[in-house]
Structure 1
Amino acid sequence: METNSLEVKLKVCAGLDVHAKTVVACILTGTLDSLRAKKEIRTFGTRTFELRLLGEWLTEKNVEKVLMESTGQYWCPIWNVLEEFDLPLALANPQRIKGIPGRKTDQKDSEWIARLGRMGLIASSYIPSREIQELRSLTRTRKSYINERTQHRNRIQNVLQHANIKLADFITDIFNGSGRNCLEVLLTGEKATQERISQVISKRCKHSSADIAESMNGAFSKNQRILLESHLRSLERIDEEIHVLNEAIEEITSNYAEIMDALQTIPGVKKRAAEIILAEVGPNVEQFSSAKQLVSWAGLCPGSYESGGARKSAHITSGNKYLKTILYQCGGVAGRSNNAIFSEFYDRISRRGSKKKAIIACAHKILRIVYKILSEQANRVNKKSSPDVASI
Structure 2
Amino acid sequence: MILCNGKFTKHAKGKKTDVKDSRWIQKLHSLGLLTSSFLPDETTETLRTYCRQRINLIHQSSAASRKMQKYLKFLNFRLDVVVKDVCGLTGLRIIEDICKGNLDPASLAEHRHYNCRKSKEEISKALHGNNREDFLFGLMQEFESYQFFQKQIKACDRKIQKFVNTALKKTPKKLKLKTNDKPYKRLNKNAVDIKNFNQVAYQYFNGVDLLAIEGVSHATILSLMSEIGPDGFSKFKTSKEFVSWLRLAPNNKISGGKVLSSRIPKGSNRLKIALRQAANAIGNLKDTDLSDFFRRIAYRKGRQAAVSATARKLGVIIWTMITKKVPYKPSREYLFLDQKRKLGIVNRIQKQITKFELSKENFEFVTG
Which TM class, normalised by the smaller chain length? 0.7 to 0.9
Residue 283 (str. 1) matches residue 196 (str. 2)? no
Q: In the superposition, relative to structure 1, how do residues 114 and 306 fare at CA in structure 2: closer, same or farther (>3 Å)? A: closer
Q: In the aligned structure 2, how far is the partner of 1:95 from the partner of 1:118?
A: 17
* 1:208 positional shift: 2.1
Residue 272 (str. 1) matches residue 183 (str. 2)? no
Q: In the aligned structure 2, how far is the partner of 1:98 from the partner of 1:147?
A: 37
Q: In the aligned structure 2, how far is the partner of 1:241 from the partner of 1:191?
A: 30
5+ residue gaps in structure 2? Answer: 169-200, 333-368
Structure 2 letter corresponding to 1:272: A
8 Å CA contact retained: 1:103, 1:112: no
Partner of 1:205: 116
Residue 117 (str. 1) matches residue 64 (str. 2)? no
8 Å CA contact retained: 2:94, 2:109: no
Identify the structure with bigger relative contact order (alpha carbons < 8 Å, sequence gap 6+). 2
Structure 2 letter corresponding to 1:330: A
Residue 126 (str. 1) matches residue 38 (str. 2)? yes
Partner of 1:61: none
Q: In the aligned structure 1, how far is the partner of 2:260 from the partner of 2:24?
A: 37
SS across alignment from 1:303:
coil
Partner of 1:155: 67
SS across alignment from 2:259:
strand
* 1:108 positional shift: 5.7
Q: In the aligned structure 2, how far is the partner of 1:222 from the partner of 1:114?
A: 67
Partner of 1:166: 78
Q: In the aligned structure 2, how far is the partner of 1:330 from the partner of 1:245?
A: 23
Structure 1 letter corresponding to 2:226: A
Partner of 2:329: 388
Partner of 1:330: 278
Partner of 2:147: 236
Partner of 2:316: 368
Partner of 1:178: 90
Q: In the superposition, relative to structure 1, how do residues 222 and 345 fare at CA in structure 2: closer, same or farther (>3 Å)? A: same
5+ residue gaps in structure 1? Answer: 1-65, 67-89, 381-385
- CA-atom RMSD, angstroms? 2.6
Partner of 2:17: 104
* 1:292 positional shift: 0.7
SS across alignment from 1:92:
coil
Q: How many residues align?
A: 294
Matches within 5 A, 1:1-392: 66=1, 90-100=2-12, 102-105=15-18, 110=22, 112-194=24-106, 196-254=107-165, 255=168, 257-258=202-203, 259=205, 262-284=209-231, 285-305=233-253, 310-311=258-259, 314-338=262-286, 340-377=288-325, 386-389=327-330
* 1:202 positional shift: 2.0
* 1:103 positional shift: 4.2
TM-score (norm 1): 0.68
Q: In the aligned structure 2, how far is the partner of 1:189 from the partner of 1:312?
A: 65
* 1:290 positional shift: 0.8
Q: In the superposition, relative to structure 1, how do residues 173 and 350 fare at CA in structure 2: closer, same or farther (>3 Å)? A: same
8 Å CA contact retained: 1:266, 1:369: no
8 Å CA contact retained: 1:336, 1:346: no
Q: In the aligned structure 2, how far is the partner of 1:132 from the partner of 1:367?
A: 19
Structure number with higher strand proportion: 1
Please say which of residues 288-297 and 92-101 is displaced more in the overlay.
Answer: 92-101
Q: In the aligned structure 1, how far is the partner of 2:158 from the partner of 2:202?
A: 15
* 1:337 positional shift: 2.4
Structure 2 letter corresponding to 1:125: S
Q: In the aligned structure 2, how far is the partner of 1:185 from the partner of 1:146?
A: 24
* 1:205 positional shift: 2.3
Q: Deviations over 1:54-111 (max 9, x none)?
A: xxxxxxxxxxxx2xxxxxxxxxxxxxxxxxxxxxxx1111222245554434x66555
TM-score (norm 2): 0.72
Q: In the aligned structure 1, how far is the partner of 2:89 from the partner of 2:302?
A: 38
Q: Deviations over 1:338-391 (max 9, x none)?
A: 4521121112111112112212222111111111111123xx6xxxxx413459
* 1:133 positional shift: 1.1
8 Å CA contact retained: 1:92, 1:125: yes
* 1:306 positional shift: 5.1
SS across alignment from 1:311:
strand
Structure number with higher helix proportion: 2
8 Å CA contact retained: 2:109, 2:123: no
Q: In the aligned structure 1, how far is the partner of 2:163 from the partner of 2:214?
A: 24
Q: In the aligned structure 2, how far is the partner of 1:298 from the partner of 1:319?
A: 9
Structure 1 letter corresponding to 2:161: E
Q: In the aligned structure 1, how far is the partner of 2:159 from the partner of 2:11?
A: 41
Structure 1 letter corresponding to 2:276: Y
8 Å CA contact retained: 1:335, 1:343: yes
